[in-house]
Structure 1
Amino acid sequence: MKTIIQASGKIFLALTILFLINSFAYAQQSSTIKFLDQKSKEPIIGLNYRYGFQRGISDETGTVTLLPDTESTLFLSHISYGTWSLDPMEVKNAFEAKQTFREESFHGLQPVSVISLKMSEDKDQKIMISDHERLHHDAGAILALNPAISGIRKGGNFGFDPVLRGFKYDQLNVVINGIQTANAACPNRMDPPTSQVALNRIREVEILKGPHALRYGIGLGGTINYIQESPDFRGQSGMYGRFSSMFESNGEVWRNEGRVGFQGSNYDVGILGSYSTGNDYLDGNGIPVPSGFERGTFGIYADVLAGKKDLLQFSVNRNFARDADFPSLGMDLRTDDTWMGSLKHTRTFTGQPLVQWTNSAYFTRVDHLMDNLLRETTPRMMNASTPAITQNWGLRTEGEWRMSRGKLFAGLDYKQEAADGTRSREILMGPMKGKVFYDNLWQDAQISKTGAFANYLFPIGSTVFTASGRLEINQAIANNPAEEFTQLHAKLDNTQLNPGISIGAQKELGKSFSLGIWAAGVRRSGSLLERYINYLAVGLDPWEMVGDPTIKPETNYELDLVLGYERDKIAVELTLFGSYLDDYISSVKTDLKPRLATSPGVRQYVNLDEAFKSGAELSFRQTLTSQISHSLQFAYTYGKDLDLDAPLPEIAPLDVRYRLAGHFLDGKLHTGASLRFVTVQNRVSEVFGERTTPGFTLLDLDVSYPLGKMLLIKGGVQNLLDETFYEHLSRPIGLDKSPMYAPGRNFFVMVSFKFP
């Protein structure tokens, strides 16, 4: 690790020298274009633009500032005006006229949602979130803004593990910028991949529903892609920054984050950081729930434009967590230390079908320790601790081609993930008092994935077709197998070939309606956990789990249908999906003897013959007046084990969201009321001891107002009615399986300062 850090420092120093040299070589005079509505002549605020390597958002006057480039096309997108582009000649004319106009437009649909920290590009369903979500110490928790995403909680304030349409863990592909990922070092997933994402520079989160996004890897149930902000190159050198802080009353949670950067015509570099801490919160009945935690991040980044065609991007983050309570588990998180780094080179081309070629590399290392040494238990049977380490690294190369009537993405990628960890158990009572046992949990297991992929978009008439494919070689091995595991499995290494294909089409049906349909067949190999975990309770019930190195890949055959309606100031999107799963990976009870006396037995990962999932998601938004709007969303998933003719476990119930929002005082004062209604979940898996959960209703209020151009104040209350409730996917506490209740009423206040 020391070598990696030293190498990273040298790379950063070299990039710093490079952008200082280039800043003098390529400085130019900037020009502006003001974008206005065709009818009202009002400015188009929040317009996304991409011009070569220059990206950003139009300001409050609808103005975009650019460094002129005679070869580049200006790409533009807006939630109300659609997506369009200006060729080099049109850009030149716009510079001369100083302004251009655009009418409101309609746009097609895709099976995708986007949680946007800024206005997003080329996506249909958008959930705008306020600055205080960027302050969150767990990037997984912000996914709950979309009702299609639920989460498994084992701790009160840390480790939100996303579940999309009943797919969880490695059935979901979680990536940053389409490549970087992390593996949970904790076998109980106290530190899921989403918890390692630093939100300081995240622009938006793509929730790519279904197995269709094969560019970024195999996501059997979907892909969650955290997209970082693009570099902001300016004509004049300058400094920028942001410092935000928020306090929550319930649990005394303090969250802080900030970044400081320096930018010029060909560089954008800076540092970022965050720090959060909290104590036990109170549920709706005033009963404390163990939920203390400490979390922080520090990072550096450098984006350098080395000439007009080459962009270099470098980043290193250091995350840490301390003393996070997990009351539903036998141990708590003591320390979690993570290094994440990436290096990316992008080259653009003109005058040929190949438009862009990107090469990138990344590494991630998670060093985790969990134990029960701070637990107050009587009588205390044993002391237990588990240090564990996971490492990920990968390479990716991708090209983008634009033909006369289509666009093609194609490339290769390689990812390797490894995990190692041993649990120690010191017996404190009984005839074996004083003895220490060591359990080889991860067995120094390793999985390598080598993939080739292609994604082609092409129009035929008024219909846009999409075809995606991936072929992946999955190689797994245990480098330090445990003796009891080798007695159970004679073969410890395994190589599998996983193909995937997705085809889709979307079409405008008249002026207001649109229709999209996607079909896919994708296969996924078992994860490190499913192949190599060695006698540890990591599932829904307290049974210890044992992996199977030769478990067969599971396959998802899925169909998504998206129907949209958009006219004047109203938009509706309805998504229906059906998923047939073959060789679905689950677990069954065995006669094996567990390691802990408190465990009822041992389960082993196996393939089920068949399973089925289906569901619906609705998104509705309407502008009522020039100042008031409202929206409605819901998501529902039905899952069934066809072998047992029984419900699949860990399927969230119907979740309905309604929000009424307004902006007053010249658009400066923003207010909102959010209502969430969740139904009873009585479709539960008795095989896994899953219990029914009651429904609940929550009401939240918020208000924000800017003080000048640089200071924003926001406040509000969550769970205003002080409802006592718990989520269906939250794990129960203790042997009696008492519910882990969510926070009761919680007041918050946030202050954010930005410059310039």
Structure 2
Amino acid sequence: MRICYGAYLCVLITAMSFGQNKNTIPQDTTKHKMVKLNEVIVTGNLKSDPTLTVTSNKYEEAIIQPKNVADLFNNINGFSSIKRGNYAIDPSFRAAQSEQLNIQYDGGTKAMHACPNRMDPITTHIIPEEITKIEIIKGPYTVRYGATFGGVINMVSQKPDYEAYGFHGKASAGYESNGSSLVNMFQLQYIQQQFDVVANAGYRDFGNYKDGNDVEIPSSFRSTDYGVKLGYNFTDNQRLQAHWRQSFGRDLLHAALPMDSEYDNTSIMALDYKWDAIGGVVKSFTAKAYYSYVDHLMTNINRPTFMMMEALSNVEATTTGGKMEINWTPLKKWNVFSGFDAMHIARDGGRTRLVKMMNGMQMPMPFNDKVWQDSYITDLGVFTEAKYSIRPNTVITAGVRYDHVTSDIKDPEADFEAMYNLGKRTEHNVSGTVSVKTLVSEQFTLEAAYGRGVRSANMMERFINHFSVGQDPYEYIGNPDLKSEVNNQFEIGFKGKNKARSFKYSASFYYAFFENYIVGIIDESLNRKYMPMSEPRHPKVFQNLDDAYKTGLEATMQVNVLKDYYLKAECAYIYAKNNDLKESLPLTPPFNSKLILGFKKEKFWTNVQYNLVSQQHHIAKSFGETQTDGYQTMDVRLGLKPIKGITLGVAVINAFDKAYNNHLNFSFTNQANFGRLPINEPGRNYSVFLQYKF
């Protein structure tokens, strides 16, 4: 598949470039207009942007060293973090997580995790300092960026600064007191009229942090990353860009998982092409191809179970894909995007166990367990999304998408093969959306949308075989016969401001009901496979349930006073229900709100953020959840630019040294001196940040 994508793309570019005069690039750089690739989804254009979107950027003003990209979501309303350790952090949006969220880089590049326990989610495979912008589509309100169930998250990496030719760059360093953690990054770019290059490298060394009770949490890790982005402009309206990055994680401790990672190596390659301003009916053509490979090793060497059993698991994941899209205007008021995309995920690897002792008797005995059983999933999709301007200030969007999904398991364990009639399986998924966005006035925008998002079961839900992959201690068994999960989501949102722009506000209200919702259900006809005398005795098997829904809201308000001061308040609430099991859906965050008082000028800014999180008693007991208390924390940040090119920041996070845990945090697992309790967050943490741009 990788050869087909690359060959097709090269032939396509050659054909489109034939006859184009390279001398058409203007020599006056002040008038030169660069081709903008489709790595950015939200452009501020009513006639092209998806409905119900939000963007976040300027992360240097947060003045806190992110452990991985997931930390960048902490201050985006509606987001929470699922924490299995200081490295294995997953974003959650509106109680949707994992493959329920369509997470990607630069408009389509993906890197799927190798570990079944998600020690290495997609957010760990790129350095946070490389991300310049995060774009969120709040639900299944577009069909253009792959199969989407709960929303799209697009993380935009650093682009060349086309405003100035020659050499430019930046270097940054940071330190956190809690864990004695160090972060540094260096970036260099060289821009010329016809080509450009951006290169970066980073190193992170995080130690074990202490919570508010002064208890040390096993959470240290080290990672080294680098990336190179090359761009070439064939003409003033054609651009080819190649991006290569690698990440190397070492000695990764995961407090809430049964093993630690010795290493996690990731390679990602992407190739993007765009032909803009073609003329006539066809406005532009874009193409993307990408490849990622993750090599992951985990062991229990430093865990209590090592005395009875040595375990080593080496797993790998390969993701390849691509996309081609045409933007065309059949009529004056129509703006249409049509194309196809593909994604192929393949995983393999196994676990080697040396059982040293059983029932008090020494009996060294080796075992080999198949983790992924050499499985794959391939998704081929075609889509069309049309935007119709019924008035200059009102756009209706409608889109439909078809996904042809195939999956297979090529090396099954004997017991898994005995459970199912295995073989290549094909699914036909149809999703769609319709929405309206209107600028009621210059100060008020109203949006409403319906989306049907369809998600095929992921590889863990299909093919995992007697492994503990949940928050609870149960063994889980996959089900290759699962039906696709469907999200029918309705939403209405608005945003506005007064004429003086001293007051602005926004709010979104949504309701979603699910079909074939996938959950693990205890099967008392089956018994535990590993450590058979341990509790719980019966495993869980993934099944489809029909009667589940969620509803919620997000709201934000900001008042600007005395020109440079502002007061901002925001809140998010989610209520989810699984009527079949008469409990909440798992990993539903409690009501949370923030109150921010800040001062901001061009060269100096400061803010105090007060975080209020309610208790969560609406839980999924079948998932191993327990009720969690509410908490209140305060963060103080200050930044300044004393001279040109220098940014300096200091911060105090959790200034009250509060001992608390987020409801979505997993519990300690296989850890000495820790019971099965949720991981606490860091206590008071002083941070210093320095950046130099040149």
Same fold, TM exceeding 0.5? yes
SS in 2 for 1:531: helix
% same residue:
27
Q: Offset at 1:378? A: 7.4
Q: Which residue of the partner structure matches residue 426 of structure 1?
A: 354
SS in 1 for 2:72: helix
Preserved CA contact (<8 Å) 1:555 1:581: yes
CA distance in 1: counterparts of 2:364 and 2:266, whole angstroms: 34
Among residues 537, 540, 543, which one is paired with 2:471 in the alignment?
A: 540
Preserved CA contact (<8 Å) 2:186 2:201: yes
SS in 2 for 1:216: coil
Preserved CA contact (<8 Å) 1:341 1:364: yes
- The number of residues matched between the two structures is 665
Q: Does 1:308 align with 2:236?
A: yes
Q: Which residue of the partner structure matches residue 53 of structure 2?
A: 112
Give the direction of change, closer, same or farther, for the CA distance of 1:400–1:198 in structure 2 (3 Å limit): farther
Among residues 599, 622, 631, which one is paired with 2:559 in the alignment?
A: 622
Q: Offset at 1:83? A: 5.7
Aligned residue identity for 1:583? N
Q: Which residue of the partner structure matches residue 251 of structure 1?
A: 179
Preserved CA contact (<8 Å) 1:537 1:545: yes
* 1:66-105, Cα deviation, whole Å (9 max, x unpaired): xxxxxxxxx9x99xxx7699xxxxxxxxxxxxxxxxxxxx
Q: Offset at 1:330? A: 1.2
CA distance in 2: counterparts of 1:83 and 1:506, whole angstroms: 12
Aligned residue identity for 1:743? P
Q: Which residue of the partner structure matches residue 530 of structure 2?
A: 596
Q: Which residue of the partner structure matches residue 192 of structure 2?
A: 264
Give runs of aligned pairs for residues 350-429 of structure 1, distance below 5 A: 350-375=278-303, 377=304, 380-402=307-329, 403-429=331-357
Q: Does 1:632 align with 2:614?
A: no
Aligned residue identity for 2:652? V
CA distance in 1: counterparts of 2:435 and 2:305, whole angstroms: 59
Give runs of aligned pairs for residues 71-470 of structure 1, distance below 5 A: 110-117=51-58, 130=61, 132=63, 136-155=66-85, 157-233=86-162, 237-375=165-303, 377=304, 380-402=307-329, 403-430=331-358, 431=361, 433-461=363-391, 462-470=393-401
Q: Offset at 1:734? A: 3.6
Q: Which residue of the partner structure matches residue 579 of structure 2?
A: 642
* 1:180-220, Cα deviation, whole Å (9 max, x unpaired): 11111011000011221334443311121111132111221
Q: Which residue of the partner structure matches residue 624 of structure 2?
A: 689
Among residues 571, 580, 583, which one is paired with 2:513 in the alignment?
A: 580
Bigger relative contact order, structure 1 or 2 (CA pairs below 8 A, ≥6 apart): 2
Preserved CA contact (<8 Å) 1:410 1:453: yes
CA distance in 1: counterparts of 2:388 and 2:306, whole angstroms: 67
* 1:577-615, Cα deviation, whole Å (9 max, x unpaired): 000001111111113222322451310000012201000
CA distance in 2: counterparts of 1:54 and 1:505, whole angstroms: 26
* 1:29-71, Cα deviation, whole Å (9 max, x unpaired): 2347xxxxxxxxxxxxxxxxx945269xxxxxxxxxxxxxxxx
Preserved CA contact (<8 Å) 1:406 1:458: yes
CA distance in 2: counterparts of 1:163 and 1:699, whole angstroms: 22
* 1:211-261, Cα deviation, whole Å (9 max, x unpaired): 113211122111111123444335x74101110000000001111112111
SS in 2 for 1:707: coil
Q: Which residue of the partner structure matches residue 677 of structure 1?
A: 612
Q: Does 1:716 align with 2:651?
A: yes
Aligned residue identity for 2:103? V
CA distance in 2: counterparts of 1:27 and 1:262, whole angstroms: 19
* 1:394-420, Cα deviation, whole Å (9 max, x unpaired): 121011124422321111111100111
Aligned residue identity for 2:569? L
Preserved CA contact (<8 Å) 2:277 2:283: yes
Q: Does 1:658 align with 2:591?
A: no
CA distance in 2: counterparts of 1:752 and 1:183, whole angstroms: 31
Give the direction of change, closer, same or farther, for the CA distance of 1:511–1:262 in structure 2 (3 Å limit): closer
SS in 1 for 2:337: strand
Q: Offset at 1:630? A: 2.1
Preserved CA contact (<8 Å) 2:340 2:383: yes
CA distance in 1: counterparts of 2:394 and 2:25, whole angstroms: 42
Preserved CA contact (<8 Å) 2:352 2:367: yes
Q: Which residue of the partner structure matches residue 749 of structure 1?
A: 688
SS in 1 for 2:123: helix
Give runs of aligned pairs for residues 724-739 of structure 1, distance below 5 A: 724-734=659-669, 736-739=675-678
Q: Does 1:612 align with 2:594?
A: no
CA distance in 1: counterparts of 2:535 and 2:310, whole angstroms: 16
CA distance in 1: counterparts of 2:451 and 2:23, whole angstroms: 51
* 1:530-586, Cα deviation, whole Å (9 max, x unpaired): 101111000121101111111111111110110223213211111000000011111
CA distance in 1: counterparts of 2:127 and 2:582, whole angstroms: 42
Q: Which residue of the partner structure matches residue 480 of structure 2?
A: 549
Question: Gaps spanning 5+ residues in structure 1: where?
Answer: 33-49, 56-74, 86-106, 118-127
Give the direction of change, closer, same or farther, for the CA distance of 1:707–1:353 in structure 2 (3 Å limit): same
- TM-score, L = length of structure 2: 0.91
Could you say what the CA RMSD is over the residues aligned between the two structures, in angstroms? 2.7
Preserved CA contact (<8 Å) 2:230 2:242: yes
SS in 1 for 2:530: coil
Aligned residue identity for 1:571? K
Aligned residue identity for 1:750? F
CA distance in 2: counterparts of 1:218 and 1:573, whole angstroms: 28
Among residues 735, 740, 744, which one is paired with 2:679 in the alignment?
A: 740
Preserved CA contact (<8 Å) 1:108 1:506: no
Comparing 339-348 with 587-596, greater Cα deviation is found at 587-596
Preserved CA contact (<8 Å) 1:200 1:272: no
Question: Gaps spanning 5+ residues in structure 2: where?
Answer: none
Give the direction of change, closer, same or farther, for the CA distance of 1:547–1:24 in structure 2 (3 Å limit): same
Aligned residue identity for 1:444? D
SS in 2 for 1:435: strand
Aligned residue identity for 1:115? S
Q: Offset at 1:109? A: 9.6
Q: Does 1:517 align with 2:499?
A: no
Aligned residue identity for 1:390? A
Q: Offset at 1:622? A: 2.1
Comparing 175-184 with 410-419, greater Cα deviation is found at 175-184
CA distance in 1: counterparts of 2:90 and 2:162, whole angstroms: 36
SS in 1 for 2:621: coil
Give the direction of change, closer, same or farther, for the CA distance of 1:513–1:754 in structure 2 (3 Å limit): closer
Among residues 493, 505, 528, which one is paired with 2:459 in the alignment?
A: 528
CA distance in 2: counterparts of 1:467 and 1:84, whole angstroms: 14
CA distance in 1: counterparts of 2:203 and 2:235, whole angstroms: 37
SS in 2 for 1:142: helix
Q: Offset at 1:332? A: 0.5
Preserved CA contact (<8 Å) 1:23 1:267: no
